[in-house]
Amino acid sequence: MATPKRVEVLGAPVDCVDLEGALAAIDTLIAGPEARAVVAVNPEKVIKAQSDPVLRRSLASAGLLIPDGIGVVYAVRLLRHERLERVPGAELMPAICARAALRGYPVFLFGASREVNEKASAVLAKEYPGLVIAGHHHGYVDDAAMPDLVAAINASGAQVLFVALGSPRQELWMEKYLPELRHVRVCQGVGGTFDVIAGRVRRAPLAFRRANLEWFYRLVTEPRRAIRQIVLPRFTYQVFREKLFG
Ligand code: UDP
């Protein structure tokens, strides 16, 4: 049974894993007794959690906290001297699908527009022969219709649920509905990953990813993210302050 080491960065928890370690942790969660969240940790969430008790609670109760942002990876190495690699949520999701196809974990895709949701489901089914897509549903569901959706997820028998509603919507959804899920054991919040799989949005070119500059590419190509990344200098400042003054 693999349970990764969990450390703290500026008050937020993060698991010291690489992709293989994350997959091993997924296997452990699948064998567990209840639905647990897989949450991507990045500098934006670390800073937000300092003033947002709901996000803090959702991080504290997560089953796996992947180091999704390169800033978090550097901060853990610098402050905690632990080994870990960046595990982007957008890469963990297909890796979980490959694992699910191999080990027979049925999956459910919840989120994104109807068109993207259907396309992403079709792409995954084609890419991972043997993958059981127990169900899928778009992400534009109002509160009144949510009990029916939860019932459908339960009836599908899915053990892995991908929730693509964006942050913090997907974390709030998981916080609220995880206790109602009967067969799901792993619930990953995947943000805009269905859009990437469906081919509607492109990830940064490989050269940017290899240089750990995916964040910069997104900043330039999706300026609305510039607002969100305004926390990066604050994150960097806090990391160095802790390094220098404890
Ligand atoms: N979305 C959804 N329901 C909503 C709002 C958003 O399903 O009520 C979907 C949206 O279609 C998109 C994803 O959530 O597929 C959000 O992607 P974004 O890139 O904003 O998320 P991030 O990765 O930034 O958290």
Per the prediction, the chain carries an average pLDDT of 94
Query: Which amino acid makes up residue 183?
Result: H
Tokens at residue 148, please?
A: 């029916």
Tokens of 20: 């293989």
Q: Which atom of ligand 1 is nearest to the CA of 111?
A: 7
Judged against a pLDDT cut of 90, whether residue 213 lies above it is answered with no
pLDDT at 1 exceeding the cut of 70 = no
Q: Which residue has the higher pLDDT, 225 or 91?
A: 91
CB 243 within 8 A of CB 78: yes
Rounded Cα gap, residues 141 and 181, in angstroms: 17
Give the pLDDT confidence of 93-152 residue by residue, as tens digits: 999 999 999 999 999 999 999 999 999 999 999 999 999 999 999 999 999 999 999 999
What pLDDT shows up at residue 32? 97
> 12-197 belongs to which CATH class?
alpha beta
* pLDDT, tens digit, 9 for 90 and up, residues 25-60: 999 999 999 999 999 999 999 999 999 999 999 999
| Cis, bond preceding 168 (omega within 30 deg of 0) | yes
The pocket around ligand 1, CB under 6 angstroms, is made up of 111-113, 116, 139-140, 164-167, 169, 191-192, 194-195
Question: Atom 17 in ligand 1: which residue has the minimum CA distance?
Answer: 192
pLDDT attached to residue 228: 73
Distance CA 36, CA 53 (A): 19
Ligand 1 centroid from CA 76, angstroms = 28
Tokens 């859009």 found at: 195
pTM: 0.93
Residue 206 CB-half CA count within 13 A: 0
- Domain boundaries in the chain? 12-197, 206-235
Q: Which among 213, 34, 214, 193 is positioned nearest to 109, based on CA atoms?
A: 193
**Which atom, in ligand 1's list, is nearest to the CA of 167?**
25
Burial class (CB within 10 angstroms; exposed 0-12, middle 13-18, buried 19+) of 131:
buried
What's the pLDDT score for residue 211?
Answer: 87
Q: Looking at residue 124, what is its pLDDT?
A: 98
Q: How far is the CA of 30 from the centre of ligand 1 (A)?
A: 26
